């Protein structure tokens, strides 16, 4: 927070600022940051430039490893360290065929936190990370999984609702927060929980903190940061899109399950439907086995996302976006984005305190 903004908030909304600092202290202590705001790990977007900008502004940047090789991940981590001395994390996909090697790279490079995503991690992976002195963060879509993850030794949790961009689950953020936050805070009070999915303003951040969250994770809100390397056409589509433009993909056949992907509707979303149909027909003709068909369907999005983010083909590439895209109205610096979010949160808390006082 800039000194001028800090002074303004302290003078005009001092109570709100004090409350905010107290509400997310568990989160800031865990992350080692000024603010308990994590960046969502967005493939091709959450690379070293955006991650460093997030951390330098007081938040917590998270590198999206995705399908990177160990060599490429090591290079990205090194580039991030060159741009920031503040804490940041690495998001690893549990289904990555070289997961063990990626974990070793994180240990070698002395990464402080690792976020495990894309499925339930093995206990051995969490143990390895802890042995390397790395704090682990995992996604918990249900209370039953919370128990298992805490038993494995996970240090913190993220609960992400289906308003988020990219691969999503079936439950809304508000429902997950009501279900999981009271449970974790009662049963495992030392475990921080970060809420994600559809968050675009400071008032929402403050509300989840009041419900017991230790912080929040945002992705879509940071895509149009000036520090983001996303193609100008990608950013412009975000700016002109409304919340209802970001829709989940549709599964065509029960025997070929698809993890829904939320993205802005375009030719790619329609092509995905056609590709599913053609792949299933190919399976029915005996031209491809079931596993091959499922992998072909799932791999559609990886190349389509790069096409949109890097090449700027927003008609035929995948423009993954959360429903908070309607709150992205212009390109801003990371400092400007943080200033807006913090001011909204502090004013909300201060006004509420005065009304209750």
The answer, yes or no, to whether residue 224 has pLDDT greater than 90, is yes
- Mean pLDDT, residues 193-211: 98
pLDDT digits (tens, 9 = 90+) for 26-47: 999 999 999 999 999 999 999 9
Confidence of residue 327 (pLDDT cuts 50, 70, 90): very high
- Mean pLDDT, residues 318-346: 96
Query: What is the reported pLDDT for 14?
Result: 81
The answer, yes or no, to whether residue 276 has pLDDT greater than 90, is no
Contacts of 190 (CB under 8 A, 6+ apart): none
Return the CATH fold of 3-231+327-352.
TIM Barrel (3.20.20)
Contacts of 113 (CB under 8 A, 6+ apart): 31, 60, 87, 88, 89, 90, 134, 135, 136, 137
Is 63 exposed, middle or buried, given 0-12, 13-18 or 19+ CB atoms closer than 10 A?
A: buried
% of the chain exceeding 70 in pLDDT: 98
What is the pTM assigned to this prediction? 0.93
- Mean pLDDT, residues 131-158: 96
Tokens 């994590």 correspond to 38
Confidence of residue 299 (pLDDT cuts 50, 70, 90): confident
Helix residue ranges, H only, the chain: 3-23, 25-31, 48-56, 70-83, 99-108, 123-131, 143-152, 173-187, 202-210, 232-240, 267-284, 290-309, 334-356
Query: What is the reported pLDDT for 357?
Result: 64
Beta-sheet pairing, 261-264 with 246-248: antiparallel
The secondary structure of residue 225, as a DSSP letter, is B
Domains of the chain, residue spans:
3-231+327-352, 242-309
pLDDT digits (tens, 9 = 90+) for 166-201: 989 999 999 999 999 999 999 999 999 999 999 999
CB contact burial 43-56 (16+ within 10 A = b; e otherwise): bbbbbbbbbbbbbb
The answer, yes or no, to whether residue 351 has pLDDT greater than 80, is yes
Say how far apart CA 144 and CA 111 lie, in whole Å: 29
Helix residue ranges, H only, 224-266: 232-240
Q: What are phi and psi of 159, to 5 degrees?
A: -110, 120
pLDDT digits (tens, 9 = 90+) for 226-251: 999 999 999 999 999 999 999 998 88
Query: What is the reported pLDDT for 5?
Result: 66
Query: What is the reported pLDDT for 260?
Result: 87
Q: Backbone dihedral region of 210: left (phi > 0), alpha (psi from -120 to 50 degrees) or beta?
A: alpha
pLDDT digits (tens, 9 = 90+) for 46-90: 999 999 999 999 999 999 999 899 999 999 999 999 999 999 999
């Amino acid at each position: 927070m800039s000194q001028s903004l800090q002074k303004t908030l302290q003078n005009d909304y001092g109570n709100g600022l004090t409350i905010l600092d107290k509400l997310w202290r568990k989160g800031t202590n865990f992350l080692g940051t000024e603010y308990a705001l994590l960046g969502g790990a967005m493939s091709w977007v959450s690379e070293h430039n955006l991650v460093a900008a997030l951390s330098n502004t007081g938040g917590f940047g998270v590198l999206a490893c995705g399908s990177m090789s160990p060599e490429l991940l090591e290079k990205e981590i090194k580039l991030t360290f060159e741009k920031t001395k503040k804490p940041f994390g690495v998001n690893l996909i549990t289904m990555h065929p070289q997961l063990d090697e990626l974990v070793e790279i994180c240990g070698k490079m002395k990464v402080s936190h690792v976020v495990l995503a894309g499925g339930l991690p093995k206990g051995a992976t969490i143990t390895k990370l802890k042995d390397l002195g790395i704090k682990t963060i995992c996604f918990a879509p249900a209370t039953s999984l919370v128990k298992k993850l805490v038993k494995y030794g996970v240090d913190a949790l993220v609960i992400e609702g289906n308003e988020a961009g990219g691969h999503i689950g079936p439950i809304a953020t508000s429902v997950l927060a009501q279900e999981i936050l009271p449970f974790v805070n009662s049963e495992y009070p030392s475990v921080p929980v970060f809420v994600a999915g559809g968050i675009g303003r400071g008032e929402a951040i403050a509300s989840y903190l009041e419900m017991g969250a230790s912080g929040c994770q945002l992705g879509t809100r940071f895509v149009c940061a000036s520090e983001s390397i996303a193609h100008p056409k990608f950013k412009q589509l975000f700016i002109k899109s409304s919340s209802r433009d970001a829709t989940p993909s549709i599964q065509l056949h029960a025997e070929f399950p698809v993890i829904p992907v939320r993205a802005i509707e375009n030719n790619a979303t329609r092509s995905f439907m056609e590709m599913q149909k053609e792949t299933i027909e190919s399976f029915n003709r005996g031209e491809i086995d079931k596993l091959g068909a499922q992998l072909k369907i799932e791999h559609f999005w990886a190349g389509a996302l790069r096409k949109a983010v890097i090449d700027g083909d927003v008609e035929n590439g995948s423009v993954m976006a959360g429903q908070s895209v309607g709150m992205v109205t212009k390109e801003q610096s990371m400092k400007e984005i943080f200033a807006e979010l913090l001011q909204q949160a502090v004013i909300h808390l201060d006004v509420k305190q005065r009304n209750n006082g």
